[in-house]
Structure formats: C-alpha cells, structure tokens
C-alpha cells in the first residue's frame, strides 16, 4: 500500500532545452520548489552538459554544490513512498523525472521533456529504473527570488516610448468613446423616443455620423501606431536575438537542432503581437473596470453591485482555469517544436532517407509526432472553447437578464427606461474588459512558454571576445601548452596534457585513429572550444586575449562540418568578406583545382549552389571549400579531412599547390599518403600526442604510425588511391 504524499507547494515546471540535460532540469525544478530559483542556463554554464548524458553520481555531486543534502536509494515503489517528496527518479534507464506527489492510486511526475503526467502504479513501475535521489536543503541553503521572464521584452519595448504613448492615447480615446455609447442611448431614449421629440432626430443623425467618423479615425490611427510599434519591436527583438545567437559558442549549437532554434526565432513575432496588443489593452481594461464599476453603482446602486459581483465570479472562474491552460499550452508548444525539429532534420538528411528507402518510416515518425501536436492543439482549443462558452454566454444573457430584472423599477417609475437601457449597455461594457483580461492572462501564459525558449538563447553567455592584442597580420605561430579538454566537468578528458609548438610556415600533419582527439585539437586552435586546462597561443599571445572573429578571419579552415551556402559559387568562395575581387576568387579556385569545372557551367562563378551544395559532387564541394579557405591568403591553414572525397590524382595536384604556400599548415587526414611530405607528423592516441617526426623516421620507429600506415597498405587493393 502506498503512503499518500502531497507536496506543500507546486513544483515549477522547467523544460529541458538540450537532449542530455534532463538531470539539470530536474535539479532546477526542485531548487524552485524550495524557493531558490535558478535558471537552467545558469546551471548549464556552471556545471556544463555532457554530450552523453549525466550519471546519478554526477547529479549527486552537483546537488551537493547547490546546498542540498542528498541520498541515493535503490528500491521499489514502496521505498520511494517512504521518502519525502519531491524526489528525482531514474527513468527508463536513460532519463530523469521528478516524482511530485502520490496518492493511493496515482503517482504524479514532472518530466522535463514532456511536462506533468499522472500515472497508475503499473505505469510507473514499467518505466521506473529502481533508483532515486532524495534532496533536502542543508544549513547553507539560501532562498532566491524568481526573475521576471518579461524583462527582455519590456526593455526593448520601452526603447520606443513615443509609439507606446500613442498606442495608450488612442486606446484610451477609443474606450472613452465606448463610454459615451450608453450615455447617448439613455439620452435618446428618455429625451427623444419616450416623449416623441422629433425635433432632435436630424441633429442626432449628424451627431451619430460624427461619432462614427471620429471612432473610425481613432481606430485607424491606433492601428497605424500599433503597426509602427510592432515594426520597431520586430527589428529590435529579432536583431538582438539573431546577433546574440551568432555570438554564442559553437558548443551551444552542437546540442540543439536547427529546427528548434528556428522555432524559437519565429516565436518573437507572436510574443511582440501579444505585447503590443494584449498587454496595452490589459492596462487600459484594468483602469476602465473601476470607472465602469463606479458608473454602474451611480446609475442603479443595487443592480450595479449585483453586476460587479457577477463579474468577479466570472473572473475567478477564468483565473482558476489558468493552471489547466498553462499545462495544455506547454504541451502544445513542446509538440510544435518537436515536429519542426523532425521536419527540418528530415529535409536536411533527405539523401540518407532516399538511399536507405526510409521515406515511409520517416513519414510515420513525422506523422506520429504531428498527430500528438494535433491532439495537444485540439485539447487546448476545446478548453478555450469551454472558457469562451462561459464568458460569451454570460455576456449574451446579461443585458436581457438586467432588462428583466429592472423592468419592475421602470413600471414603478423609480428608474427611467433610458436609464435601464443605458445600464444594460454599461453592464455589457463592464463585462467586456473582464473577459478581455481573462483572455489576455491566458495568452500571457501561452507566451511564457515561448519566452522560456527565447531566454535560453538570450541568457546564454556569449563567446569571449577580448581585444587585448592588436591584430595586424598573423605570423602563423601556434603554441599549445599543457592543454586538457573535456566537454563538461563530469566527462572523461578528450585531450590530456597536450603540448605542441608549430612554427610559422611549418607544414604539420595530425594522424591517429578515430576518436583520438584530432578534430578537437583543431577546434581548440580556432577557439571553437575553450581548453579546460592550459592555454593556446597564437603568435606568442594567449588566444583568449584576441578578438576571436579577427583571428578566425586570418585562418583558412575546412572542417568536417564546413558546408556550402545556398548562393552563387563566387559568394560561397568570398563569403561577404570586404575587398575580395572575382580575380582573387578565380585564383583560389585554380589553387583548389576547381576553376576549369566552374567555367564549364553555363553561369560560371555565378551558378547558384543548392542548400549544402547537393547539386555538386562530394569532391567538387570539398574543392570549393578549399578555395574558400585559400581566397584570403591566410597566415594559417587548417584542413580536417578536406580531401577525403577526392581521387588520388586531383588530391596530389592540390597538395603540390598547397606545398608552395608560405603559410602555416595544419592538416588532419586518415589517408596517410596525403601527409607523407609534411615537415612534421603528429600521431595522436586517446587524447595525447604519442609520436612526432617525419614520415621516414616514424615509419622506421615501428610504433603507432608504422601500424597505422601498414594497416592501410594491407587494406588497399590494386585500385586504392594510397601511394605505395
């Protein structure tokens, strides 16, 4: 029998933004439960996120650093029920969730990937992996207030005070004209219709027309200033978001899908729409409520109090529904982001899908997730419909009900017919802002789910960009001193105590088995990764003292991840770098042995390259990328498997041309024949440099290089491009 446990306050839901940070998200939720509100971004930047996930031991260590007393337990559901909730539960042998509360029949979990769920005991046991962490704040625990999610948007909105003031002004005028309506109705009824005073009819016609004209002009003016405000907000928000996105470190993009990032960027449009329309209307509606309430009591006191109380009841119903609204909208946003990620991934990998005949399987995966999105949207729409039925039905029946309620007073003569009709109209006007506030509040809740994703980007720390060293032209010296690197404090080291000096103009090759750390070393030289320990020096200055963008412009690079863009061949080579002419692009293409093939195309250098260069062969793509790396005449050239798709003849021609360059050259290759003529060859094994020297000395040594080289010779057949 389970022991009933219900937590004293609600656990805040924090969605994981990366595939491997469910453990950190669970910790952030439990911190929030105990009133120490920390963001997932802060935890990620302090403790890092492993690419391969986080173990229970590492999660325990992080919890202790956050001032928790932590105990790990292995046991069944009965053991879990004896611990104080909430606890972190190991789930499906690969995931973490928070067990928030339990009753005799159900267990309630909060999954950082999918939100709140209610499970039966059997459902829980199916996924529960038998281990959980119990966390309690220790004596060092300090509470911390939750930061507002809207600060980023309000800051940018108030950069346009003129347009905000104008929106408020025209909105207030429109609402003021709305107040005139019941007053005018009362006057027409009591002074024109009841006494049958025909002398005012013509004047009233002109007055109504002028009122209509003035209202429409104000409405048009408000629409104009709202459009202007939205334009300025769009520019400010998207510029800031995109600029900051480009400044984020490379590792940020390694752990997120491009589809999800696009979804976040597009969310800005919806957020500013709610801000520029709903929030401003919300401010005015709140002010109008008090004014309408005063008028209602002034017109007919007893009936006015009744309408006010009815409005309060309607508002409370809408307010109490917000927790359900938040849960449903959260699921919908998560489902939308997932579908967009899957769609973008499938389009990006369409070649693999085609060659493996996975069209049906890929469609089935997409359809399954899309159906989940449709179900989530359907549930939210049905819930919105239910809320709208309550509010709309109330607004529909209230005027008629009030006319019935006040009819006896009109017959008795205590209230005029005009007053009752005006009161009925005023009551409808009073209910409109209440419904509007409830709707706006629900939209604000929906927006919060989008803001969480936006803040994951704008709150992330930008890549360091000092400029302590004045950069003219690099000489090309690279020095790596005692460098260790790992992706997070709880990962194994990828590089261990690497020390290396590459002199200006030296041609250095790096070889080794897959996973030995070759590409990681290249990314450290480029500053795409930061060394965990030790330092990388360029021309005798620490890399961290340079403006990284300026350094990278001095380095020609082709990495395994380098891609072509959907623009012309010329643009792909020069890449918007100022001062580069078509002649320089042609020279670079000749160096890369691709010029003749470009000239055979109908549009030559102005031929448009498809996305990722799929209208070119693999070898052509690599040569275009080599041309891009050479066009600036770099001081340092880094090539990571840059010729892997080339035939041996073309590769040899390119190598001969590159050998004439005076720049420092760092080349990574699995095909060892490519690097036989290097000045120095570095052999890496399990994150360390185990051998270095020229081809002949390393071969004669009979060590790692010898074995790598002879293994390739043994695998090579008579058509192998390997030089024998």
Residues 589-614 have pLDDT tens digits of: 999 999 999 999 999 999 999 877 88
Q: What is the pLDDT of residue 724?
A: 34
Assign 682 a pLDDT band (cuts: 50, 70, 90). Answer: very high
Mean pLDDT of the chain: 83
Q: What is the pLDDT of residue 80?
A: 86
- 667 — alpha (psi -120 to 50), left (phi > 0) or beta? beta
* Average pLDDT over every residue of 446-450: 73
Q: Which residues contact residue 276 at a Cβ distance below 8 angstroms, ignoring those fewer than 6 apart?
A: 157, 167, 226, 229, 230, 233
* Average pLDDT over every residue of 191-203: 75
Give the strand order in the sheet containing 478-485. 495-502, 478-485, 533-538, 541-542
Q: What is the pLDDT of residue 719?
A: 45
Q: What is the pLDDT of residue 718?
A: 41
* Residues 617, 640 contacting (CB under 8 angstroms): no
Q: Does residue 86 have a cis peptide bond before it, meaning omega lies within 30 degrees of 0?
A: yes
> Does position 1 have pLDDT exceeding 90, yes or no?
no
Query: DSSP characters for 183-224?
Result: HHHHHHIIIIITTT-GGGHHHHHHHHHHHHHHHHHHHHHHHH
Residue ranges of E strands in 63-220: 68-74, 87-91, 95-102, 106-111, 115-120, 128-137
Distance (Å, whole) CA 106 – CA 84: 16
Choice among 5-9, 129-133, 406-410, 462-466 with the minimum mean pLDDT? 5-9
Most confident residue range from 50-64, 89-103, 306-320: 89-103
DSSP SS3 for 232: helix
* Residues 135, 87 contacting (CB under 8 angstroms): yes
Torsional sign, CA 401, 403, 409, 411: negative
Most confident residue range from 3-17, 209-223, 429-443, 477-491: 477-491
List pLDDT tens digits, range 157-185.
667 778 778 877 887 787 777 677 777 77
* Average pLDDT over every residue of 463-471: 69
Assign 143 a pLDDT band (cuts: 50, 70, 90). Answer: confident
Domains in the chain: ranges and CATH: 21-137 (3.90.70.10), 150-459 (1.20.1560.10), 478-719 (3.40.50.300)
Tally of CB atoms within 10 A around 567: 13
* Residues 527, 548 contacting (CB under 8 angstroms): yes
> Does position 717 have pLDDT exceeding 60, yes or no?
no
Q: What is the pLDDT of residue 466?
A: 67
* End-to-end CA, the chain: 74
Q: What is the pLDDT of residue 448?
A: 74
Q: What is the pLDDT of residue 292?
A: 78
List pLDDT tens digits, range 528-558.
999 999 999 999 889 888 888 888 888 999 9
Distance (Å, whole) CA 709 – CA 691: 14
Most confident residue range from 182-186, 200-204, 257-261, 628-632: 628-632
In this prediction the pTM is 0.74
DSSP, res 576: T
């Amino acid at each position: 029998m389970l022991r009933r446990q219900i937590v004293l306050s609600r656990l805040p839901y924090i969605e994981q933004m990366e595939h491997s940070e469910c453990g950190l998200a669970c910790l952030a939720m439990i911190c929030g439960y105990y009133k120490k509100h920390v963001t997932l971004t802060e935890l990620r930047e302090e403790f890092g996120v492993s690419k391969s996930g986080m173990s229970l031991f590492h999660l325990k260590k992080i919890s202790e650093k956050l001032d928790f007393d932590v105990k790990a337990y292995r046991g069944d559901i009965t053991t879990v029920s004896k611990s104080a909730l909430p606890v972190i539960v190991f789930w499906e042998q690969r995931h973490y969730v928070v067990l928030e509360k339990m009753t005799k029949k159900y267990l309630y979990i909060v999954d950082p990937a999918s939100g709140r769920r209610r499970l039966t005991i059997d459902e829980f046991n199916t996924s529960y992996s038998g281990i959980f962490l119990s966390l309690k704040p220790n004596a060092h625990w300090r509470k911390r207030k939750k930061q507002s999610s809207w600060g980023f948007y309000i800051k940018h909105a108030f950069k346009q005070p003129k347009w905000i003031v104008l929106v408020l002004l025209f909105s207030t005028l429109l609402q003021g004209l709305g107040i005139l309506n019941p007053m005018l109705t009362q006057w027409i009824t009591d002074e024109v219709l009841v006494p049958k005073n025909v002398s005012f009819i013509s004047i009233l016609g002109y007055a109504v027309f002028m009122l209509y004209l003035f209202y429409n002009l104000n409405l048009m003016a408000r629409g104009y200033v709202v459009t202007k405000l939205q334009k300025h907000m769009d520019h400010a928000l998207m510029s800031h978001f995109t600029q900051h996105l480009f400044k984020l470190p490379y590792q940020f993009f390694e752990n997120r899908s491009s589809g999800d990032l696009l979804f976040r960027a597009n969310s800005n449009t919806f957020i500013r729409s709610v801000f520029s329309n709903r929030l401003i209307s919300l401010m005015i509606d709140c002010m109008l409520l008090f004014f309408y309430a005063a008028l209602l009591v002034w017109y007919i006191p007893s009936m006015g109090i009744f309408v006010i109380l009815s409005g309060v009841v309607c508002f409370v119903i809408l307010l109490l529904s917000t927790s359900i609204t938040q849960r449903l909208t959260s699921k919908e946003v998560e489902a939308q982001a997932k579908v967009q990620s899957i769609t973008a991934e499938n389009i990006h990998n369409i070649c693999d899908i085609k060659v493996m005949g996975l069209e049906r399987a890929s469609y089935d995966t997409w359809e399954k997730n899309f159906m989940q999105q449709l179900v989530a949207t359907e549930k939210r729409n049905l819930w919105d419909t239910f809320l709208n039925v309550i509010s709309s039905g109330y607004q529909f029946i209230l005027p008629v009900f009030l006319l019935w309620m006040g009819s006896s007073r009109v017959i008795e003569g205590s209230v005029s017919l005009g007053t009752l009709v005006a009161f009925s109209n005023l009551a409808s006007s009073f209910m409109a802002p209440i419904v509007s506030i409830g709707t706006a509040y629900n939209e604000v809740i929906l927006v919060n789910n989008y803001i969480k994703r936006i803040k994951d980007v704008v709150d992330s720390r930008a890549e360091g960009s000092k400029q302590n060293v004045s950069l003219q032209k690099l000489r090309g010296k690279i020095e790596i001193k005692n460098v260790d690197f790992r992706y997070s404090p709880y990962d194994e080291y990828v590089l261990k105590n690497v020390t290396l000096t590459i002199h200006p103009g030296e041609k250095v090759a790096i070889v080794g088995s897959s996973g030995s750390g070759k590409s990681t070393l290249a990314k450290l030289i480029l500053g795409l990764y930061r060394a965990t320990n030790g330092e990388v020096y360029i021309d005798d200055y620490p890399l961290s003292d340079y403006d990284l963008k300026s350094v990278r412009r001095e380095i020609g690079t082709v990495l395994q991840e380098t891609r072509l863009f959907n623009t012309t061949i010329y643009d792909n080579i020069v890449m918007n770098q100022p001062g580069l002419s078509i002649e320089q692009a042609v020279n670079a293409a000749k160096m890369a042995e691709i010029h003749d093939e470009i000239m055979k195309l109908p549009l030559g250098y102005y031929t448009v390259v498809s996305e990722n260069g799929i209208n070119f062969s693999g070898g052509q793509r690599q040569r275009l990328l080599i041309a891009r790396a050479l066009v600036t005449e770099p001081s340092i050239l880094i090539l990571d498997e840059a010729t892997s798709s080339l035939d041996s003849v073309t590769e040899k021609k390119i190598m001969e041309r590159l050998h004439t360059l005076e720049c420092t050259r760092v080349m990574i290759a699995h095909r060892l024949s490519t690097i036989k003529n290097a000045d120095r060859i570095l052999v890496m094994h399990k994150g360390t440099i185990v051998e270095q020297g020229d081809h002949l000395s390393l071969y004669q040594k009979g060590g790692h290089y010898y074995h790598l080289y002879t293994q390739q010779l043994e695998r090579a057949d008579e058509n192998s491009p390997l030089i024998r």
